[in-house]
Structure 1
Amino acid sequence: MKKLILTLLVVTAFISCKKEVTDAPKEIITAKPTIDYSGAGMDTTLIPRGLNVGDAAPEIIVTTAENKKIALSEYYKKQAVVIIFYRGFWCPVCNKHLSEFAEKSKLIEATGAKLIAITSESYDNVSKTKEQTGANFTIISDIDGSIRNAFDVNFKVTEDYQAIIQDKFQVSIAETNANKQAELPVPATFIIDKNGKIIYKQFNPDYKIRASVDDILNNLPK
């Protein structure tokens, strides 16, 4: 009898424990995606984050290809402004992206918005970009890096990545840039409304991921 009672107690305890485990809430753990900064050539000493939606557009002066200085506010006080950053004429992904905008820029302009591309490359190299992509919109060379820094998209390029670009495209990133520094922008996109507020942001250190024309059209102010 004692053995029977002991057996029943053990079985009851086992069933009770099993039920507690079964009824316990399940914790779903999902790993956060890691960013391959090295793959993008980014020196991680100072990682850019980009301005955010709701931030005021920076008060900056841009220098045109004609060496004319214009405040960014002169653009957006009249119309919404789409700012896209790209790396340089040597970047196939940039060229493909800019070619799409060259084909569809009129769709953006038809809404009353202004499209401006900003790059670290010199104006001599901007000419190469225009030849390769058919870009028919404003492109600004960020001569001293002040625009990239103001939008918090600028980063220093690792020596390893510089060597990769040199080997693959026979191009020195530093030499193609206006300020002769091995720096690049994260290829980000911002939309600024007529109040000078950022209302859209696409920012990804992975240079292959960019805002499309449709993304921009869907987020322009009505």
Structure 2
Amino acid sequence: MTAPLFPTGIELPRVTPPQAAPLTAAELLASTGVGGRALRAGQSAPSVPVLNFRGLPVPLADAWRHGPAIVLFIRGGWCRACSLLLRHWRDHGETLRALNTTLVAIAPQTPDLADRTAIDNGLDFSVLSDPELSAANGFGLSFTLPPDAVDLYAANGIDVPVLNGNGLWVLPVPATYVIGPDGVVRYRHVEGDPSPSPRPEDVLLEVEERFGWR
């Protein structure tokens, strides 16, 4: 990873996504249609290009080329809930190595901000940049923020089009995927699904039960 690319003393806003929005996670999932179009178990994951911390394109399929992969879609490093999730995962490196499993996170941020997210949270896994939304669209997770959500984010200093560098008020619905070395989705959880959000331990158990590579 590189050093932070921002001058000392400049900080991004780090807030929990606005809770005053009228839609719950389940309602948002239904209203955007993401629940119906997001990739499901048994479907093939797309090998779309994403950017590494140097801003160079890499095929996402590299994550599962030599073993299963866990892919986390997050809103961005400014999202406190997303950062908390990443920190929960950073303590499981030994288990991931024992399971021959690669963990990556994907955010629609510019590469420098994605790298900063990894540095700020002390991660030993990659936060890949998806400013063109290739991965978010490929997995069926992207949605355009409704006007009331735009107003709430803007009021909290979160300028999504600038942070993502694409001029769009578009984010992925946070999601967790397990993908086999054949590129087939074996497990998914999308925020707003009826089942509770999985802990890292739950996802790792899915990997162990499906691949058994300890």
Aligned-pair CA distance for 1:90: 1.6
Aligned-pair CA distance for 1:147: 0.7
What corresponds to 1:149 in structure 2? 137
What corresponds to 2:33 in structure 1? 47
What corresponds to 2:23 in structure 1? 38
CA contact (8 A) 2:40 2:185 kept: yes
1:62 and 2:39 equivalent? no
CA contact (8 A) 1:188 1:210 kept: no
What corresponds to 2:153 in structure 1? 165
Aligned-pair CA distance for 1:69: 2.5
1:192 to 179, 183, 202: 179
Using structure 1 for the length normalisation, give the TM-score: 0.74
What corresponds to 2:96 in structure 1? 108
Judge which range, 38-47 or 52-61, deviates more: 38-47
**Following superposition of structure 1 onto structure 2, how do residues 1-222 of structure 1 map, counting pairs within 5 Å?**
38-40=23-25, 42=28, 46-49=32-35, 50-168=38-156, 170-205=157-192, 210-220=197-207, 221-222=211-212
Unaligned stretches of 5+ residues in structure 1:
1-35
Asked which structure has the greater RCO (Cα within 8 Å, sep 6+), the reply is: 2
Partner SS state of residue 161, structure 1 = helix
Judge which range, 106-115 or 180-189, deviates more: 106-115
Whole-angstrom distance in 1 between the partners of 2:30 and 2:162: 22
Q: CA RMSD in A?
A: 2.3
How many pairs does the alignment contain? 184
Whole-angstrom distance in 2 between the partners of 1:128 and 1:70: 19
Using structure 2 for the length normalisation, give the TM-score: 0.77
Counterparts in 2 of 1:105 and 1:182: CA distance versus 1, 3 Å: farther
Counterparts in 2 of 1:179 and 1:45: CA distance versus 1, 3 Å: farther
**Which structure would you say has the larger Rg?**
1
Counterparts in 2 of 1:91 and 1:67: CA distance versus 1, 3 Å: closer
What corresponds to 2:14 in structure 1? none
CA contact (8 A) 1:86 1:117 kept: yes
Q: Match for 2:165: what amino acid?
A: A
Q: Match for 2:129: what amino acid?
A: S
CA contact (8 A) 1:95 1:132 kept: no
Aligned-pair CA distance for 1:120: 0.9
Judge which range, 82-91 or 40-49, deviates more: 40-49
Partner SS state of residue 78, structure 2 = coil
